[in-house]
Amino acid sequence: MTSPIADFNRKRDEDSVEELSPFWGIEKGIVLQEARCFNDPQLDARKCQQVITKLLYLHVQGEFFTKTEITEIFFSVTKLFQSKNNNLRRMLYLIIKEICPTSDEVIIVTSSLMKDMNSKVDLYRANAIRVLCCIADSAILGQIERYLKQAIVDRSDAVSSAALISATHLSLADVDIVRRWSSEIQEAVNSSSPEVQFHALGLLYEIRKFDRLSINKLVAQLTRTQLRSPLAQCLLIRYVSEVIKDSAEDTVAPLHTFLQSCMRHKSEIVVFESIRAITSQHDLEAHQLVSVVNVLQLLLSSPKPSSRFAAMRVINKLAFLFPDLISNCNADIENLISDENKSIATLAITTLLKTGGDAAVERLLARIHSFMSEIQDEFKIMIIEAVRITCIRCAHKYRILLSFLSTYLREEGGFEYKQSIVRSIVQLFNAIPEAKELSLSYLSEFIEDCEYTQLSCEVLYLLGKETPYTTDPGKYLRYIYNRVILENPSIRAASISAMASIAVHCEMLKGRVLVLLRRCLFDSDDEVRDRACASIALLEKASAQKAGSLTTHTTEAFENVLLKYCQSNSDEPIDLQTIVTSSSANSESTNSASVLEQEHVISDISYSNIASVPYFATCGDVFKSSMKIDLTEDETEYKISCVKHIFDSHIVFEFICSNTIKEQALTNVTVAMEALGTSGLLEPTVLPLNVMPLTSYGSTFVVFDHEVGTQVEERFACTLKFVSKEIDPITGALEDDGYEDEYSIEDVELLATDFMRSARVQEFSQVWSESESYVENTFSNIVLPHDTVEKSVSHFSSLLGFSPCIGKTVTRNATLHTACFAAELSTGEHVLIKIALSMESQSSVTATVTCRAPQAQLCNQVLSVITC
Amino acid sequence: MSIPSVSSIVILDDEGKRVAVKYYETLKRARDVQFTFERNLFTKSSHLSGKGEVELLILDDYIAVHKASHDLRFYVAARHDENELILVSVLETLYEALCTLLRGVVDKHAALENLDLVLLVIDELIDGGLILETDPTTIVNRVSMEESMEHSLTEQTISQALATAREQISRNLLR
């Protein structure tokens, strides 16, 4: 135990150390004040240097300087060119580069820097070149070009290097100006200084890299000489491997030999670079790698951790492609499992898992056990990943590997680590079906003590989805129900959904689940209660109706309502009440025979009654329902409108009728449809409407059979037929006798677009470019009588029956606009439509419509619909 | 394949605070990206033994080499496909040059006391991401603007060069 006095002393020591820091309590404002010393007529070089250092310190610490402050600093700093002090000058160069003045300010320092560029002092020249090239614009470049060219072959290495490096930066912006110095650069490649040679070679390649022939020549020439600088040698290796990639197989043999010879270079950097070059070639073959692996093996036992790591990285990569080859150095790799650097150890383990045979797996897992406790989560994740791959490779070892994974599920760990284990297990049982039951039981044990809510919910969902198909789903119910008792609301809710899902799929467990769910009805959490309630209702309904799953039904109804709402451009909010009533009406209607009279639920959204008619229950899902078309004038006695529903093998015309005359009742209402074209549709089935309701709506149906996946175009003449009966004005009772009557309504057309619905397309341009093979046709210069582009877009939307996927909203007063529509057919094929609109005059919009469809006929049909 | 390049040089103290940093290329821009990057470097290297050996770290798209000295931590980072050993040599050059200039004691106090020298070493080592010089002695000379030795360097022993450098620096400091 330390005495208080010792503590005190140590504290004071720490404080004093803190105070000793030259930047303790530094503030930007004060430093900017201090910077005024740059303007003193008698410069104090030492002080100025200190102030510059302070400014740079602030800069390094991430302090923000305003534009004015930077300008101010820059202007006062330029005064320091008066000083002859070398070290101050060096700091001056540095700070100019750091603050990087704007182009209109640069002019202040160019003359000073150009003077330094011609100085007798080498380092002035070198630094001035670097600074100038860093801040110069093209005008200044023109002025200094001559000097730069000369500087490349300067007798001083510093100047030469500076010029070459600066030229390399310049070449990225403007390669042409640098190309003019080609001969000087070529000369510098032969310099006696290794650095200059390195920089010159780099630059030479940059300016020639688009000239294959000259690069090939350069490489061929240089591979025969010995470069002084290891870095230059590395560059050469990179260029050689580029040339190999681009050249034919037979011409590159000498280059391969060169790469192999580089592995015997005395510099480790070069050796490693050549290994990287060889291993990154595309068509690697095992025999080329034998010597590489030998060298790597030597590097593995290098005393330097960085070399071991680098070698291990390459081996790990190779292990994927050539497990057999790498297994030769398994012994060396195994030694690295105990490496102090855990990154190396982890790489070693993952490599061994990849290369090791069946026999080695168990031994390795034992070693990993001792290792796992020492490493961080990120390495554990890498190991888990490797174990997963191993397991998929050695499928029959799944028991051992799964139990390994489950061990670590139980131990301490971060969220991402646990998640990686769970995901691995999921992937495993997807890949290896026989591992499923074992995996699920491990997972259900895991949720017993999982500390992460999100992960628990994930597992619960999975259990709900997967366990119904196992041999004994009941086993998992206990695990799941335990969560309801012990966990937080999110997990409880997830558990309830999981149990409901099991019950829906396993008839025999339904009773047990219902008992469990009823216990949850008094839960303190709203969501849990709601889910329990909904699930119970669902299960009870499902047992009454023997439907597979009701949830899908209600959500589908809800989805339909939402979709219709989206297409209707209505500003009214959706009335949730109507959805509930209409869906409950739907389910009731399935049980009762005379539904039509009961149907009172009318709203703009759910105007169609088709879902309530038992006849259509067996027809499958509606592929598309058209917009409602009015077939009568506004002020007539009867209001009739039509909705076209396309089923897979039926076309249904729903006539929605409403009576406006109180004294008269229309009974046995049907619509006679007479085909005017030659589409060859067979005689339809007619579903009459018993009584046309007064002020409310009822529907009569005409059903045609048609071939799956075909589009029919037809025009029908329609006549409303009914039996008219008088209503006694006093009693309100119907008279028994009526007379037959008919009423002529407008024609109904069946169009190609009725068979298309809006497709959900992620990226229209991508789908468009993928549809090259489709038939494309264009109608141009269609004049539309609209006075805004926006109206034209909604015109096309209503013709097609859905909104565009691109260009739905039109900017105000736009004169040019493009709208793109994507439609799908019942066959899953797409029809794509691009409409380019332009406002030619005040009162008309011109459109160009391009359509792509799988067949020419369809394409033309669609075009004629939209351009009529 | 292009010229070997470095994307950043970072020197932190033992609490992960900046002593000196220099970013090149993409990392240059957003300040919070830089701080996140430094925090990652620091946490990833915290479990390393740090016995003065150069260690390797992998961070998403970057690869970094690391070396600890007293309470300082040095990092040189580059794109993940760079040759690791080139980075090692850059880091070693940086360290050796600083060792000479800070007279063998490379710790936070000395580095802050001579921050100008630290920043100049970085500037002489890397120019805009490209490796400018890999010989520590040359860098020391250039930092202290001592050019007379540039040519006669090969004849001098290192210790002589160090002595001259030290003398030069102390002269400058005392001035």
DSSP secondary structure of A3-71:
-HHHHHHHHHHHHHHHHHSTTTT--HHHHHHHGGGGG-SS--HHHHHHHHHHHHHHHHTT----HHHHH
Question: Is the per-residue pLDDT at A549 higher than 80?
Answer: no
- Residue A656 has a pLDDT of 85
Residue A246 tokens read as 């681009």
Substitution target from B34, B63, B132, B144 for chain A, most A beta carbons within 10 A = B132
Residues of A in contact with B150 (CB under 8 A): 122, 156-158
Confidence of residue A751 (pLDDT cuts 50, 70, 90): confident
Best residue of A13, A24, A269, A295 to probe chain B, by most B CBs closer than 10 Å: A269
For the ranges A88-102, A466-480, A555-569, the lowest mean pLDDT is seen at A555-569
- Decide if pLDDT at A90 tops 80: yes
User: What pLDDT is recorded for position B175?
Assistant: 58
The amino acid sitting at A850 is T
Q: Are A235 and B145 a contacting pair at CB < 8 A?
A: no
Tell me, letter by letter, the H, E, C secondary structure of A545-601: HCCCCHHHHHHHHHHHHHHHHHHHCCCCCCCHHHHHHHHHHHHHHCCCCCCCCCCCC
Instruction: Write the CA distances from A561 to A295, A656, A761, integer angstroms.
Output: 69, 18, 20
pLDDT at A851 over 60: yes
Find the helix packing angle between A856-867 and A789-800, rounded to 10°.
Answer: 130
Q: Smallest CA–CA separation between A234 and chain B, in Å? A: 9
Q: Beta-carbon neighbour count of residue A203 at 10 Å?
A: 28
In degrees, to the nearest 5, what angle opens at C-alpha A441 toward C-alphas A437 and A443?
115
For the ranges A47-51, A562-566, B98-102, B145-149, the lowest mean pLDDT is seen at: B145-149
DSSP string of A517-548, one letter each residue: HHHGGG-SSHHHHHHHHHHHHHHHHHHHHT-S
Chain A hits for B68, Cβ within 8 Å: none
Q: What is the band of A598 on the pLDDT scale with cuts at 50, 70, 90?
A: very low
* Cβ within 8 Å of residue A85, ≥6 positions away: A45, A49
CB-CB under 8 Å, B112 with A21 = yes
Contact residues on chain B for A276, CB-CB shorter than 8 A: 83
For the residues A633-656, what does the mean pLDDT come to?
84
Residue A550 pLDDT greater than 50, yes or no: no
* Beta carbons of A206 and B3 less than 8 Å apart: yes
Residue A548 has what pLDDT?
Answer: 42
The encoded tokens of residue A179 equal 């190309």
pLDDT band of residue B26 (cuts 50, 70, 90) is low
Q: Does the complex come out with an ipTM higher than 0.85?
A: no
pLDDT at A577 over 80: no
User: Could you tell me which chain A residue has the CA closest to the CA of B128?
Assistant: A169
Which of A204 and A175 is assigned the larger pLDDT? A204
Mean pLDDT of A687-699: 80
Residue A692 and residue A397: Cα distance in Å, rounded? 72
Q: Which residue has the higher pLDDT, A738 or B73?
A: B73
Facing B150 at nearest CB: one of A62, A158, A165: A158
- Asked which of A304-308, A351-355, B80-84 is least confident by mean pLDDT, the reply is A351-355
Which of B127, B154, B175 is best to mutate for the A interface (most A CBs within 10 A)? Answer: B127
How many angstroms separate the CA of residue B73 from the nearest CA in chain A? 16
Q: What mean pLDDT is predicted for residues A583-600?
A: 35
Q: Which of A304, A309, A350 to mutate to test the interface with B (most CBs of B within 10 A)?
A: A309
Q: How does DSSP assign A368-418, residue by residue? A: HHHHHTTS-HHHHHHHHHHHHHHHHHTGGGHHHHHHHHHHHHHS---HHHH
Residue A1: the pLDDT is 40
Angle, nearest 10°, between helix axes A398-410 and A377-393? Answer: 160
Q: Which residues pair with A655 in a beta bridge?
A: A642, A700
Query: Does A22 contact B113 at a Cβ distance shorter than 8 Å?
Result: yes
Q: How far does B155 lie from chain A, in Å, by closest CA?
A: 15
Q: Note whether A45 contacts B175, CB cutoff 8 Å.
A: yes
pLDDT score recorded for residue A554: 58
- The Cα B162–Cα B102 span in angstroms is 11
B83·A90 Cβ contact <8 A: no
Establish how many alpha carbons lie within 13 A of residue A430's alpha carbon, considering only the half-sphere containing its beta carbon: 9
Contact A272 B53 (CB under 8 A): no
pLDDT at residue A194, as a whole number: 84
The whole-angstrom separation of Cα B83 and Cα A684 is: 77
Q: Do B135 and A195 touch (CB under 8 A)?
A: yes
Mean pLDDT estimate for chain A = 78
Q: How confident is the model at residue B147 (pLDDT cuts 50, 70, 90)?
A: low
User: Cα dist. A54→A21, A48, A74, A322 in Å?
Assistant: 12, 10, 15, 55
Burial (CB < 10 A; 0-12, 13-18, 19+), residue A187, is middle
Residue A802: which of A609, A625, A560 has the closest Cα?
A625
pLDDT at position A543, please? 61
Interval A819-835 mean pLDDT: 83
Distance in Å from the first CA to the final CA of chain B? 48
CA distance A343 to A306: 11
Nearest to A833 by CA among A749, A751, A759, A754: A759
Token pair, residue A205, equals 């390649």
Given a cut of 60, is residue A226 above it in pLDDT? yes
Tokens of A2: 């330390």
Q: Which of B15, B57, B84, B108 to mutate to test the interface with A (most CBs of A within 10 A)?
A: B84
**CA distance linking residue B31 with residue B17, whole number of Å:** 14
Q: How many helices (H) and strands (E) does chain A have?
A: 36, 15
Q: Look up tokens 């870095």; give the residue.
A: A231
Distance CA A458, CA A491 (A): 9
Compare CB distances from B85 to A23, A130, A310 and report the shortest one's residue.
A310
Gap between the Cα atoms of B163 and B175, Å rounded: 18
Strands (E), A150-262: none
Residue in A closest to B175 by C-alpha: A46
| Chain A, nearest residue to B22 by Cα | A60
CA A314, CA A275: separation in Å to the nearest integer? 8
B22-30, Cβ contacts within 8 angstroms, sequence gap of 24 or more: B22/B119, B22/B122, B22/B123, B22/B126, B24/B126, B24/B128, B24/B129, B25/B129, B27/B77
The yes-or-no verdict on residue A155 having pLDDT over 80 is yes
pLDDT of residue B76: 92
Say which residue, A465 or B123, is predicted with more confidence.
B123
How many CB atoms are closer than 10 A to CB A727? Answer: 16
Closest-CA residue of A relative to B123 is A94
Q: Which residue has the higher pLDDT, A312 or A813?
A: A312
pLDDT digits (tens, 9 = 90+) for B101-124: 888 888 888 888 888 889 999 988
Q: Is the pLDDT of residue B87 over 70?
A: yes
Question: pTM for the complete prediction?
Answer: 0.60
Domains and CATH numbers, chain B: 8-174 (3.30.450.60)
Reply yes or no on whether the pLDDT at B90 is more than 80: yes
The pLDDT value recorded for residue A407 is 82
Q: Cα(first)–Cα(last) distance of chain A, in Å? A: 96
Contact A749, A864 (CB under 8 A): no
In the chain, the amino acid numbered A28 is K
Is residue A670 a contact partner of residue A651, using CB atoms and an 8 Å limit? no
What pLDDT was estimated at residue A192? 82
Please tell me which residue of chain A has the smallest CA distance to B59.
A378
**CB < 8 Å to A376, chain B:** 47
Closest CA to A320 of A284, A364, A367, A275: A284
CB B26 within 8 A of CB B110: no
Q: H or E segment at A87?
A: helix A86-99
Whether the CA torsion A48, A50, A51, A52 is positive or negative: it is: positive
Q: Which residue has the higher pLDDT, A601 or A130?
A: A130
